Amino acid sequence: MKTLDQSYYCGASTTQIIYETIGVYFDRICGQYPDKDALVVRHQDVRWTYRELQQKVDELAVGLLALGIEPGDRVGIWGPNSYEWVMVQLATAKIGAIMVCINPAYRLYELEFALNKVECKVVVTAEKFKTSDYLGMLNTLAPELADSKPGALQAEKLPHLRTVIRMGAGETAGMLNFGAVCGLGGEKDGDQLRALEGLLKPDDAINIQFTSGTTGNPKGATLTHCNILNNGYLAGEAMRLTEADRLCIPVPLYHCFGMVLAVLACVSHGSAMVFPGEAFDPLETLQTVEAEGCTALHGVPTMFITELDHPRFGEFDLSSLRTGIMAGAPCPVEIMKRVISQMHMEDILIGYGQTEVSPLNHMTLPNDSLERRTETVGRAVPWVEIKVIDDANRVVPIGEKGEICTRGYSVMREYWNDPERTAETIDEAGWLHSGDLATMDKEGYVRIVGRIKDMIIRGGENIYPREVEEFLYQHPAISEVQVFGIPHEKMGEEVCAWVQLNEGQSMTEDELKAFCKDQITHFKIPRHVRFVTEYPMTVTGKIQKFVMRDQMVAALKE
């Protein structure tokens, strides 16, 4: 291979881009592998072949059409991993509705913003999960549900929402039951579904993923059929998936990791999707790999660490494993060695990217060295261009630090209804600016060395300090707040807040955490709080978060 002299690399491939809609491609796969396992959801006792999954998806699709859902309408999905989640993903793609992924940990403040930001017409919701009472929260935001005819909601706080579809066997006032919706469609709706097959286009928006903002509320990264189908397909190609593979999926579906690198990677290859439970549990994951003979396993480094360190780890036969993707945070060398030797995952890949690029723009490959799989994030994935630039947007020489930028099929269309922030992220030449600092070597391998935006990564979850700060500013006792991340051995980072109070006000750490509880997602709530009267600053008045971080780390060691 020719070595590079500047930090620009384009991923090469002999495989063509798939220029089709997800629905068309899914139907072809179902025709090829009708009797192969498609979906196994152990906690719901579901085991469907591709033929059965296709039938279920079509029933939901015609049911949604019968409710008046049209191409381009936004359909929210809120809940943990489930067979319903997968059905909604594929059914909305078939009818051209835009599925909006809502974090299962969202509380009232975040839920209201998300539903209104993208003007969701429908939300499909679980009953509850852990400490989240989804039906209760929806009734709190829309008390009108109690007296509303299902499908005809008129709510003051959620003015665009018309229909709430609840999962589970029960019935709730003002809501439709998921199973009932699957039985709604008639012959006319079936005809409409078949007609839509030729009308929908690969470049149509099909998914909105909320990404936390550096300057306030989350942004809705808007992704197309072409974006996510190809990213999932090419990730599957890198793992060498076939119809004989079975992927264990403990990662959440509301992330691109779950719905693209797992669901679409499997669907595009006729592989089996195997879900151990509603959310990650190390024991359930280990039990599932053995019981289902899984050949692949996904996770963030924290997940693999807790699996390896589980007291019952040695009881399980994991010899069926060979591959999978580890992403979300850097992987320590020792952990990678243990995953390869003790979990038999010799072909495990490291992935890097962001939601806005659907989500992978870099990946290692099975024949890459251990060093490359731990010290780099690999090279650009097929058909994607990568460059590393300086402050003047010039490509830097090999080995020099700069911002990593991406151009290609995987770059999102836009941030939903936010042209200003879209223009800040995607430049006139089509390059998406990541905010991450990186270096590139002569063969195109990239090392991530820092973040321009002061993002916190806790257990694979991206947390932007500004979003937490703006929420805390709503408390009348708080005058000033600075949020930053501090290192944590298991989670990677934890959230820390330095808080200045208004004169005459008092507050304890527990009171601040109680203010956050049930309002913002649990992993955004500061783990450590310090009340201060001033912040370290430069001579020009800029607050120095790195000084605060160092001081906090030192104090916690005492």
Whichever domain contains 304, its CATH number is 3.40.50.980
Q: What is the distance between the alpha carbons of residues 494 and 488, in angstroms, rounded to a whole number?
A: 6
3-class DSSP string for 193-245: HHHHHCCCCCCCEEEEEEEEECCEEEEEEEEEHHHHHHHHHHHHHHCCCCCCC
Length of the chain: 558
pLDDT number for residue 454 = 74
Q: How far apart are the first and last CA of the chain?
A: 52
**Cis-peptide into 359, omega within 30 deg:** yes
Assess whether 246 and 359 both reside in one domain: yes
In a domain, 311, yes or no: yes
State the pLDDT at residue 331: 79
Sheet holding 296-297, edge to edge: 46-49, 37-41, 272-275, 246-248, 296-297
Rounded to the nearest 10 degrees, the angle between the axes of helix 282-292 and helix 301-308 is 80
Domain residues for 441? 384-408+419-453
Q: What is the pLDDT of residue 538?
A: 59
- The answer to whether residues 196 and 75 belong to one domain is yes
Looking at the structure, tell me whether residues 360 and 390 fall in a common domain: no
Sign of CA dihedral 284, 289, 292, 295: positive
Q: Which amino acid is at 245?
A: D
> pLDDT value at position 466?
77
Amino acid at 543: I
Residues 439 and 462 in one domain: no
Give me the pLDDT at residue 525, please: 96
With respect to residue 44, please indicate whether it lies within any of the assigned structural domains: no
Identify whether residues 388 and 349 lie together within a single domain.
no
Q: Answer yes or no: do 344 and 243 share one domain.
A: yes
> Residue 145: CA atoms inside 13 Å, Cβ hemisphere, count?
24
The pLDDT of residue 74: 98
Give domain status of residue 389, yes or no: yes
Give me the half-sphere count of Cα atoms (radius 13 Å) on the Cβ side of residue 40: 21
Count of structural domains within the chain:
4
Q: Is 425 part of a structural domain of the chain?
A: yes
Is 211 inside a domain boundary?
no
Quote the Cα angle for 126-173-45, to 5°: 30
Q: DSSP for 475-514?
A: STTEEEEEEEEEEETTTEEEEEEEEEEPTT----HHHHHH
Is 492 within 8 Å of 522 (Cβ atoms)?
no
Residue 208 within a domain: no
Contact 56/45 with Cβ under 8 angstroms?
A: no
59 conformational bin, left if phi > 0, alpha if psi -120 to 50, beta if neither: alpha
Instruction: Please indicate, yes or no, whether residues 500 and 438 belong to a single structural domain of this protein.
Output: no
- Residue 144 CA, distance from chain mean position: 31
Same domain, 185 and 159: yes
Domain CATH number, residue 391: 2.30.38.10
Same domain, residue pair 253 and 367:
yes
Distances (CA, A) of 382 to 71, 85, 230: 30, 29, 10
68 and 126 part of one domain: yes
Distances 114 to 163, 210, 424, 539 between C-alpha atoms, Å: 16, 8, 21, 39
The Cα 466–Cα 548 span in angstroms is 16
Q: What is the pLDDT of residue 212?
A: 67
In this structure, is residue 45 part of a structural domain? no
Q: Which residues of the chain have pLDDT under 50?
A: 214-215, 540
Task: Kindly report, residue by residue over 134-176, the tens digit of the pLDDT.
Answer: 999 999 999 999 999 999 999 999 999 999 999 999 999 999 9
Evaluate whether residue 206 is within a structural domain: no
pLDDT of residue 539: 54
**CATH code for the domain in which residue 465 is found:** 3.30.300.30
Query: Coil, strand or helix: which one is 287?
Result: helix
Same domain, 117 and 194: yes
Q: Are residues 426 and 329 in the same domain?
A: no
Sign, CA dihedral 342-344-350-355, equals negative
Dihedral of CA atoms 381, 266, 70, 72 in degrees, nearest 10, equals: -20
